[in-house]
Amino acid sequence: MNLQDLTPIQIAIIVAVVVVVIGAIIVFAQRRRTEKLRSRFGPEYERSVAESGDRRRAEALREEREKSARAYFQSHAGEWDRIGLRRRETTGAVGAPAVAAATTMEAARV
């Protein structure tokens, strides 16, 4: 069977199936992202959603903060080694190692 042998109804069915599959993939990815952020940030995630009023915007802000903290940690890694500080893992509401490291670095400057 080649493409020219398909009827318009068959083409419409194929297009509909492709659209449904793509939609399902998008929904699955969004749910996975939400669950990942919710489990990583806990109450802080819920607070961000409540403050922003929009789940997508809150998730984008959470990811941006995490990315910023990670970049801060990486840019100061040599300084950390020089003064003898090491990155430490946390299990608190923040949960992001880079955030904990940045917080420790700030505390060391005071």
Q: Identify the pLDDT of residue 91.
A: 44
60-70: pLDDT as tens digits:
888 888 888 88
Q: pLDDT: is 108 or 83 the higher one?
A: 83
Distance CA 62, CA 41 (A): 9
Identify residue 59 by its one-letter amino acid code. E
Structure confidence by residue, pLDDT tens digits, 30-60: 999 889 888 888 888 888 888 888 888 888 8
- For the chain, what are the domain ranges? 3-109
Better-scored residue on pLDDT, 10 or 83: 10
Q: What is the pTM of this model?
A: 0.52
Region 81-103: mean pLDDT is: 51
Per-residue H/E/C for 54-103: CHHHHHHHHHHHHHHHHHHHHHCHHHHHHHCCCCCCCCCCCCCHHHHHHH
